[in-house]
Amino acid sequence: MIETALKALFILLYATFVGFMFMGIIRIVTARIHRRVGPPIYQPILDTIKLLSKKSNITHGLIYDFGILYAVGATVLAVMFIPLGNVGVLRAYGDLILITFLLEIPMLGIMFAAMSSGNPWAGIGAQRALLTLLAIQVPLGFAIVALAEYYGTFSTYQIVMAQQTMGWSIAHLPLLLAAIAYDLVLQAMFGKEPFDIMIAPGEISLGPMVEFGGKHMGLLNIQHAIALFAETLFFSNIFLGGGVVTAFASPILNTIASLGVLLVKQVAVLLVATFMAAIFPRFTIDQAAKFYWKWPTIIAALGAILASL
Amino acid sequence: MEEITFRIAPESKVRKKPSFLKPWMSIKYLFKKPVTIKIPYESLEPAKDYRGFHTLNWKTCIGCNMCGQICPARAIEMTWIEVDGKVEKRPHPKVDYGRCTFCQFCVDVCPTNALGFAESYMLTTEWKDEELQLFDWVPIPPETFREIQESRRDWRFPVERIKFNKETKEVTYYLKNGEEFKFKILGYGLKPPAAAKPKPAAKPAAKSVEKKEEPKAEKKEAPAKPEEKKE
Ligand code: SF4
Ligand code: SF4
């Protein structure tokens, strides 16, 4: 019992810290592509500390506060279900559909809070976010179906174990197609550039986030960090072979090695997303919906069909 | 009549095809050196004759108020000054950097080249009243300014602090090189103030200024008015 709690705490701290580093990496890489220097890598941590120590906090009622906590809670729960190398609290139950679902819940939480603020910008942002959420379901569903069809299981941990023997998922054509579709979907899940329609800085002044300040924004930053970690982790687990290393005799060395391997894979996923974010301009919401229902859907459906043959 | 052909680039040559792959070219910048000046560690040299703060040669300024008239922001006010117990015969311009646009018209128009400028351009203060005094000064002589600028090369305002004593009207500039620059402000405007008159030594001088100054000022004011209307 205590061991599980400690494990959960470790996962939480690790996810938060690495998530913040990821946010820092995104900022540095984006800056370098713009030929700037960029902030130090720990800048998001400083930002969050600053936000959490603000004196005035605006609240618009219970749902406004609850929505944020709901988002953070869902993200934390998602992290607990995803196998993190050979550390995992609930990894035996972490099936694909559950995790996919949990990764989308935070967006709903933010929508709750945003809508209850009564700000029209937040309303527009929420609309756009929900439409994006709707649009990404189709390719996402097909990608999951392709995976489940190929491996014959929904359990993420079993998929990771299967990749140990059969090679990485992206080495197989049907799953490669699913991975491409999923990577495009990731862009919207991160809220990164071609599909950052719901945040849209400069277009609808931060959208849902427009009313948040102080502690709410700080919590959202933490949520974003954990979500980045969770989404990259999930992608690395199901498509890049996860990270279960059994090369060393000592279990601690194994754990560290598998975390390191996973980290490399996660950073790779993150870098692809950052490159896309840095070089492509934002879609409008109708273009995004059309896009998601066209190319990623076709690719992922093809993958699903190939996987079931 | 000769026919004129206008050259227009055809649409086909201007319009490019959208591409999915080409944006990826910009990733090459990831590995290039950032084009950035790291400001606290590196500094950027302003161009020679960059229009910065003013300098004033107190010896050659004749108090003609040409600068005050041309200034588009009305940032220049004539100031009567007493240095070391001696009233200056002519008023000197006082520049208010809260309004100045750094157009340097005043420098171009000065008939004796008394007003000049140096390349320093940085002046930052907090909101405190005593710090805001820095924005309102009678420019210091060019040699002093240049000396401070050369020795520090941080392109900042050469005065650290300005102290104005309301009772004695004594102004002290604490220069960045540690020197103090002291004088008294007796009054403002083109007319010599009462404080300048009772002194027997200054009396004749002040009067002659008054005689010369007043008709001049009136003449100058008249053509200035239609200009204002145009604005
Ligand atoms: S124009 Fe030149 S000489 Fe005339 S008052 Fe101004 S600074 Fe002095
Ligand atoms: S630089 Fe231009 S705005 Fe500033 S005092 Fe001279 S004339 Fe006025």
Burial of A20 (0-12, 13-18, 19+ CB in 10 A): buried
> What mean pLDDT comes out for the span B177-187?
84
> What mean pLDDT comes out for the span A193-209?
78
A261, two tokens: 């391997």
Reported confidence tier of residue A46, pLDDT bands at 50, 70, 90: very high
Residue nearest to atom 4 of ligand 1 (CA): B64
- Check if B56 has its Cβ closer than 6 Å to any atom of ligand 2: no
Could you tell me the sign of the dihedral formed by the alpha carbons of B78, B80, B84, B86, in that order? positive
Q: What is the pLDDT of residue B197?
A: 59
Rounded to whole angstroms, the Cα distance separating A103 from A137 reads: 12
Which ligand does the CA of B217 lie closest to?
Answer: 1
B140 Cα–ligand 1 center, Å: 14
Of A273-282, B44-53, B58-67, B189-198, which range is least confident? B189-198
- Asked if residues A20 and A223 have their Cβ atoms less than 8 Å apart, the reply is no
Of A158-162, A280-284, B61-65, B124-128, which range is least confident? A158-162
Q: Which residue in chain A is spatially nearest to B33 when comparing CA positions?
A: A35
Q: Do A34 and B36 touch (CB under 8 A)?
A: no
Reported confidence tier of residue B196, pLDDT bands at 50, 70, 90: low
Q: What is the pLDDT of residue A21?
A: 92
User: Residue B198 above 60 pLDDT?
Assistant: no
The pTM for the full model equals 0.79
| Cα dihedral B197→B200→B202→B204 (10° resolution) | 90
Q: Quick: pLDDT tens for B24-53.
A: 888 888 888 889 888 888 888 888 889 999
> What mean pLDDT comes out for the span A261-279?
89
**Interchain CB contacts (distance < 8 Å): A and B:** 31
> What mean pLDDT comes out for the span A80-84?
84
List of chain B residues whose C-beta atoms are within 8 Å of the C-beta of residue A38: 34
List of chain A residues whose C-beta atoms are within 8 Å of the C-beta of residue B30: 29, 32-33
Question: Which of A35, A37, A280 is opposite residue B29, by nearest beta carbon?
Answer: A35
User: Residue B140 above 50 pLDDT?
Assistant: yes
Residue nearest to atom 1 of ligand 1 (CA): B110
- Asked if residues B187 and B195 have their Cβ atoms less than 8 Å apart, the reply is yes
Distance from CA of A28 to the nearest CA of B (A): 10
Residue nearest to atom 7 of ligand 2 (CA): B71
Ligand 1 site residues (CB inside 6 A) read B 61-67, 93, 110, 112, 114-115
Reported confidence tier of residue A25, pLDDT bands at 50, 70, 90: very high
- Asked if residues A117 and A64 have their Cβ atoms less than 8 Å apart, the reply is yes
Q: Do B34 and A36 touch (CB under 8 A)?
A: yes
Burial of A272 (0-12, 13-18, 19+ CB in 10 A): middle
Distance from CA of A278 to the nearest CA of B (A): 9
Of A88-97, A144-153, A155-164, A275-284, which range is least confident? A88-97
- pLDDT greater at residue B216 or residue A3: A3
Q: What is the pLDDT of residue B230?
A: 42
- pLDDT greater at residue A93 or residue A269: A269
Question: Which of A29, A37, A280 is opposite residue B30, by nearest beta carbon?
Answer: A29
Q: Do B34 and A35 touch (CB under 8 A)?
A: yes
Reported confidence tier of residue A147, pLDDT bands at 50, 70, 90: confident
Q: What is the pLDDT of residue B109?
A: 92
Closest CA to B116 of B146, B87, B90: B146
- With H, G, I as helix, E, B as strand and everything else as coil, classify residue A250: coil
Task: Give strand pairing partners of B175.
Answer: B159
B135 Cα–ligand 2 center, Å: 13
Q: What is the pLDDT of residue B221?
A: 42
> What mean pLDDT comes out for the span A281-309?
88
Q: Quick: pLDDT tens for B74-117.
A: 999 998 888 887 888 888 899 999 999 999 999 999 999 999 88
> What mean pLDDT comes out for the span B177-189?
85
Q: Do A37 and B38 touch (CB under 8 A)?
A: yes
Task: Give strand pairing partners of B164.
Answer: B171
User: Residue B205 above 50 pLDDT?
Assistant: no
Nearest atom, ligand 1, residue B112 CA: 3
Q: Give A173-238 as a DSSP string.
A: HHHHHHHHHHHHHHHHHHT-GGG-TTT-TTTSTTGGGGG--HHHHHHHHHHHHHHHHHHHHHHHHH
Q: Which residue in chain A is spatially nearest to B38 when comparing CA positions?
A: A37
Question: Which of B24, B32, B38 is opposite residue A279, by nearest beta carbon?
Answer: B24
Percent of chain B whose pLDDT exceeds 90:
12
